[in-house]
Amino acid sequence: MRKADLVKNHVVLDTAIDRYRGFLEKVINAQRVVASTEEKRDIAESVLIRLCAYWEFFTDGHLVDCVNKDSSRLSQFFGVSIPANPSKDLCQALLFGEKYRDFRAFDELKAFTKKILPDNNNPFLAISKRHGFKIDEVYCIRNYLSHYSAKSKRTLFDMYKKKYKMTRFLEPGQFVLAYNAKNLWEYLAAFQGASADMKGWYKNT
């Protein structure tokens, strides 16, 4: 697994973010096809869910490729001997088995990478705290939109109050499109920034 191959992994994620940014700019400014505020809010919420899916697809695949490049820390983590050049299928099986590995916060993802990747082969460590915090906010929104449970609503409202000093609950679409969609663009920028942080790490190693 070469460094160039790790860089290529970013293409799908970066392309999706750019595509959704352009799409949302058209939707928010549209006056005919998507004229109502409610429809624009629905679309913004849907895009955030899709971005989370792309991020998860990227991180899962990238973890596999990083382990494929250097499996020494993973071998220590499991306490087993791993071939010097493990196949991607073996890396996938070791990391995930038959289950879905759910990281509830960016810090959980970063902590897991420290357990399975040596620091000199861990681009996830390059992602800034600011980008990580913003991605966590998006996941808080995603969890509410995925469940609409009382618990997920309380968690989202707690985030609103803590981060934005809000005193009343807003549905995510209304929240992200307020003030010329300031929060929406910041969330897209967080995913873009996290990808850029990692790509910058490749150049410096």
Domain edges within the chain = 3-203
CB-CB contact of 162 with 140 (8 Å): no
Predicted confidence at residue 85, as pLDDT, reads 81
pLDDT of residue 52 exceeding 80: yes
Q: Residues 6 or more apart from 200 whose CB is under 8 A from it?
A: 126
pLDDT in tens, 6-47: 888 999 999 999 999 999 999 988 777 777 899 999 999 999
CA distance 67 to 43: 36
Name the band, by pLDDT with cuts 50, 70 and 90, for residue 201: very high
Helices 106-116 and 37-69 cross at an angle (nearest 10°) of 10
CA distance 41 to 171: 9
pLDDT in tens, 111-129: 999 999 999 999 999 999 9
pTM exceeds 0.95 for this model:
no
pLDDT of residue 3 exceeding 60: no
pLDDT in tens, 137-169: 999 999 999 999 999 999 999 999 999 999 999
Exposed / middle / buried, residue 117 (Cβ in 10 Å: 0-12, 13-18, 19+): buried
Exposed / middle / buried, residue 129 (Cβ in 10 Å: 0-12, 13-18, 19+): exposed
Predicted confidence at residue 157, as pLDDT, reads 98
